[in-house]
Amino acid sequence: MNSPANKLSLLRASIRELGSAAVAFSAGVDSTFLLRVAHEELGGQCVALTVRAPFVSAREIEEAVAFCRRLGAEHVLLDAEIAGIPHFAENPPDRCYHCKKALFSKILEFARKRGLAATIEGSNTDDDRDYRPGARAIRELGVRSPLRESGLSKAEIRALSLELGLPTASKPSAACLASRVPYGDRIDEAVLARVDRAERLVSEMFPNLAQLRVRVHGGVARVEVSAPDVPRVAASRADIEDRLVPLGFTRVEVDPRGYRMGSLNEAAALQATGERQKQQ
């Protein structure tokens, strides 16, 4: 059986073989682990690139900058606007495909100009379980996914991150702020800023939540937290509403089913399955 230690050795060897790389860095669990290993193996030939855009939480940008400073890794912020990403504002089910295509094209262009041999990103083997149209863009552009290639799962990455002393070992999974808006509902900077502020306020009320999403359904803010946290958060629904209504929401609901990875993808995945069945 291939142990996490063996997979880490394989990962290190594959990164060394690249010689140099641009690392797409979001400050999440996976990309932090990937950047740490890449920096150890490539040193100054490793450059971290973080997209700064309305759909990226301000906290994630702050954490990305701080981590690279502590690590001593070169860090570049690439600015992106909604208007520059085809179909993003219209928010179709394959929005992530168009977004990843645009953003990674910018990263690849940076890597080409710097003479870096490869662009790498932090997808792991667990990501295949969810509806992720952005994965197609990554494959089409030739971006490498060393964690997946080495067979590493999210649990293994967390365990190895703990061994390396990384602050993200137990960090909750994060996602683009646009993932809070149902497909077909138009996305603009105002709604993204509202979501970002809402999640910051709820996290201040409950600082140790294992997971948190504030989904937008028209004027309703639907709060998702991990199942064990649902009772105590639901008990404070009125207090949460008092904080979120001034942001522009009409009311707050706490999802009794708890947080589910990609819950807004459930309908899209069912639709995609139906379309495939029609074609068979």
What pLDDT was estimated at residue 265? Answer: 54
Please check whether residues 201 and 156 belong to one and the same domain: no
Q: What is the dihedral of CA 182, 191, 174, 272, to 10 degrees?
A: 20
Q: Per the domain annotation, does 40 fall within a domain?
A: yes
Residue 36 sits in a domain of what CATH number? Answer: 3.40.50.620
Task: Compute the distance between CA of residue 220 and CA of residue 216 in angstroms, rounded to an integer.
Answer: 6
153 plus 190 within the same structural domain = no
> So what's the pLDDT on residue 273?
36
What's residue 280's pLDDT? Answer: 39
Considering 126, 141, 163, which residue would you say is the last residue of a domain?
A: 163
Residues 157 and 191 in one domain: no
On whether the CB atoms of residues 102 and 134 are closer than 8 A, the answer is no
Residues 10 and 112 in one domain: yes
CB-based contacts of 168, cutoff 8 Å, min separation 6: 27, 28, 29, 32, 33, 161
| Domain containing residue 247: CATH number | 3.30.70.2210
* 38 and 133 within one domain: yes
- Provide the domain limits for residue 50: 4-163
Q: What's the pLDDT score for residue 208?
A: 87
Going by their DSSP bridges, the two strands 74-79 and 21-24 should be labelled as unpaired
Residue 276 lies in a domain: no
pLDDT by position in tens, the chain (length 280): 589 999 999 999 999 999 999 999 999 999 999 999 999 999 999 999 999 999 999 999 999 999 999 999 999 999 999 999 999 999 999 999 999 999 999 999 999 999 999 999 999 998 876 667 888 999 999 999 999 999 999 999 999 999 999 999 999 888 899 999 999 999 999 999 999 999 999 999 999 899 999 999 999 999 999 999 999 999 999 999 999 999 999 999 999 999 987 555 554 444 443 343 333 3
Q: Judge whether 280 lies within some domain.
A: no
The enclosing H or E element of 62 equals: helix 58-71
Phi, psi angles (nearest 5°) of residue 154 = -60, -45
Residues 138 and 28 both lie in one domain? yes
3-state secondary structure of 76: strand
- List the Cα angle 115/120/121 in 5-degree steps: 145
Domain total in the chain: 2
Q: Are 238 and 127 in the same domain?
A: no
> Is 250 within the bounds of a domain?
yes
Can you say whether residue 151 is alpha, beta or left, with left for phi > 0 and alpha for psi between -120 and 50 degrees?
left
Q: Residue 277: inside a domain, yes or no?
A: no
Q: Please, which residues have CB within 8 angstroms of residue 150's CB and are 6 or more apart in sequence? A: 7, 8, 10, 11, 14
Compute φ and ψ for 54, nearest 5 degrees. Answer: -60, -25
46 lies in some domain: yes
21 lies in the same domain as 157: yes
- For 120, phi and psi rounded to 5 degrees? -125, 155
| Residues 212, 117 within the same domain | no
Q: Would residue 130 count as lying in a domain?
A: yes
Q: 144 and 195: one domain?
A: no
Structure tokens at 177: 């702020």
Per-residue pLDDT, 38: 98
- N-to-C CA span, the chain: 37
What does the pLDDT read at residue 110? 97
**SS3 call for 90:** coil
In whole angstroms, how far apart are CA 51 and each of 24, 91, 164?
8, 19, 25
pLDDT the model gives residue 133: 83
**Final residue of a structural domain among 121, 139, 163:** 163
Cβ neighbors of 19 (< 8 A, separation 6 or more) are: 42, 45, 117
Q: Tokens representing 49?
A: 């690139």
Same domain, 139 and 234: no
My answer on whether 25 and 155 are in the same domain is yes
Of the three residues 138, 163, 188, the one that is the final residue of a domain is 163
Residue 273 lies in a domain: no
